[in-house]
Structure 1
């Protein structure tokens, strides 16, 4: 069963993670796409992205929704027609959806050494406590990226900078949660963040 994991952080929120093992054709057979979504998936050059897109529609079905229930605003933020809050992510062979009565954001990333090349683009304060020689350095960088990406999706404000406007307080990988802040236009916003690791991937989700 490709539904890999279900998490219920609170009574108002559910996270579902999908492991993408099916072929594109198998995934496509199982969903009913509205015309704009079908056009979008057919226009994707990568089958990996196509399968990620379709697996998200299977996750929607696991929540009791169809593709027709999902729409995007002018900033690309997803919404559900019934007013529930939603955030979506996929990376390689995993995808995830979080649905809640509260504002939410989620991200999955594969843990890869190449993240060190772009670390300076999304990290500032965090360099004060990170140890580049530590065995968990890549995992921590990936966790920080996921935390900041989930906050970016939750905050949904164009112009928000990962490096300048968000920060993650010191944490240990085994903690599975941390606190992060958005400092934007002279206002500070505090968020409790949960994260988990599985099969070389990291997932983080933020709930307002």
Structure 2
């Protein structure tokens, strides 16, 4: 499938989302992978993960980059050779990428009831405004998870905790934006957050 969605939250930032409907072979055929990427994708046991990996390379092409322009540090944070900031995510049959002159983070997650089983691991301050009986409780939990995952990718600092150091300000699903804070080691940072829903998935991205 062609590109699913493109967003431009500001003049320095672009988000692209890919819906993965193609087969492994169809995704692989037009790509020129580095030897490392070729070995990585062929070493994956799950075709779902393989297709997610390859869809990210198609997103790179949409931004005008090649697989060789992308590299990772020892903590797994991605970088682009031209110095622009990048963040990458994929979940089931969707992948997304954000490229910016600002520090950024992005996450996509499928909305599933079982998120309630791990809510206690990443929710703290947010308990003050969440209603566990509300119809949109699962959706809000998923937004909060995506927000905190985005912050984690943006901040890229060992020891950062979703529950203890990342705070999502109260929001309504229809707002599609909010603010979030990282409060870590006597340093407080505020971030603009945007989020959206599509086909039972949630995507959120943070911009410094």
Q: Which interval holds the TM-score relative to the shorter structure?
A: over 0.9
Deviations 1:14-46 (A, max 9, x none): 000000000011001121110111111111111
2:164 alignment counterpart: 164
2:130 alignment counterpart: 130
2:83 alignment counterpart: 83
CA apart distance, 1:177: 0.3
Asked if residue 193 in structure 1 is aligned to residue 193 in structure 2, the reply is yes
In structure 2, stretches of 5+ residues that fail to align are: none
Q: Give the 3-state SS of the residue equivalent to 1:114 in structure 2.
A: helix
2-structure distance, mates of 1:83, 1:193: 23
2:117 alignment counterpart: 117
Contact kept in structure 2, 1:2 and 1:20, CA below 8 Å? no
2:48 alignment counterpart: 48
2:70 alignment counterpart: 70
Q: Which runs of 4+ in 1 moved over 6 A?
A: none
Contact kept in structure 2, 1:143 and 1:204, CA below 8 Å? yes
Q: Give the 3-state SS of the residue equivalent to 2:113 in structure 1.
A: coil
2-structure distance, mates of 1:49, 1:2: 19
Matches within 5 A, 1:15-34: 15-34=15-34
2-structure distance, mates of 1:21, 1:46: 16
Q: TM-score, normalised by structure 2?
A: 0.99
Contact kept in structure 2, 1:2 and 1:21, CA below 8 Å? no
Contact kept in structure 2, 1:108 and 1:204, CA below 8 Å? yes
Asked if residue 141 in structure 1 is aligned to residue 144 in structure 2, the reply is no
2-structure distance, mates of 1:97, 1:36: 20
| C-alpha RMSD of matched pairs (Å) | 0.6
2-structure distance, mates of 1:169, 1:80: 31
Contact kept in structure 2, 1:195 and 1:205, CA below 8 Å? yes
Q: Give the 3-state SS of the residue equivalent to 1:160 in structure 2.
A: coil
1-structure distance, mates of 2:8, 2:176: 14
2-structure distance, mates of 1:32, 1:46: 21
Q: TM-score, normalised by structure 1?
A: 0.99
2:178 alignment counterpart: 178
Asked if residue 61 in structure 1 is aligned to residue 61 in structure 2, the reply is yes
CA apart distance, 1:169: 1.0
1-structure distance, mates of 2:157, 2:2: 33
CA apart distance, 1:2: 2.6
CA apart distance, 1:128: 1.2
Contact kept in structure 2, 1:20 and 1:94, CA below 8 Å? yes
